[in-house]
Each structure stands twice: as structure tokens, then as C-alpha cells.
Amino acid sequence: SQQGEEDPQALSIQEGENATMNCSYKTSINNLQWYRQNSGRGLVHLILIRSNEREKHSGRLRVTLDTSKKSSSLLITASRAADTASYFCATDLEGGSYIPTFGRGTSLIVHP
């Protein structure tokens, strides 16, 4: 079964608005990563947050991690039409393999 599950499955917003996606997981992790996939393309790594970190920023991206709730959120501020894509979280388990397990993704549409 999937380790990480993204929520919502789909999100539709207007350009300029903020987009928030969430990821919940079941067992303790070492790292959590967020990836982006444009339609019909491969995935591109966005950001990695380690289990001992609570927040990370990269440009317009802000990722938080709450290990007590086993959840993470990805915030995209001031969204652009070019942010339209699917976003996936990937987790690798504490004490387990380094190979990440991906969720089913959130499909984000940003209307110009």
C-alpha cells in the first residue's frame, strides 16, 4: 500500500492565489520529498525535508513537516499558470530502505 497519501486529489485555483497540498504517512520516516510532474513527463525533485526538520523554503515553495501527526504540507505562494502539474510526496522509512515510496499525487490546475 502507499506510504504517503496526498490530499486533495485535485486542486483548482486562480493565478496569484496560494496552493496548499498535504501528505500523510503511516510509519516513521527518515526523509520526505516533494516532486512535481508536468503532464506526460517525468518527475522533478522539488525539496527534501528530514525528519528532524520542521520547515524548509525554496523560492515560492514552503514545506512543513509534523512528525507527531505524520503529515507534511507543500505551500506554493503566488501561484502561476506554469505551476500547473501533479505534485507527489515520497517517503523513506526510518530504519528501512532508502528507496522512497510515492503517493498518488495532487493534481494542481492554476487558471490564468
Partner 1 sequence: DVKVTQSSRYLVKRTGEKVFLECVQDMDHENMFWYRQDPGLGLRLIYFSYDVKMKEKGDIPEGYSVSREKKERFSLILESASTNQTSMYLCASLNRPGPVSYEQYFGPGTRLTVT
Q: Which is nearer to partner 1, 2 or 18 (CB)?
A: 2
| The three three-digit cell numbers of residue 82, written as one number | 506554469
| The three three-digit cell numbers of residue 74, written as one number | 507543500
Shortest Å distance, C-beta 104 to partner 1: 4
Q: Which is nearer to partner 1, 15 or 53 (CB)?
A: 53
Decide if 65 contacts 51 (C-beta within 8 A).
yes
Q: Give contact residues for partner 1 (rule: CB under 8 A).
A: 2, 31, 33, 35, 40-45, 48, 88, 90, 92, 98-105
Decide if 20 contacts 108 (C-beta within 8 A).
no
Single-letter amino acid code for the residue at 75: L
Q: Which is nearer to partner 1, 15 or 92 (CB)?
A: 92
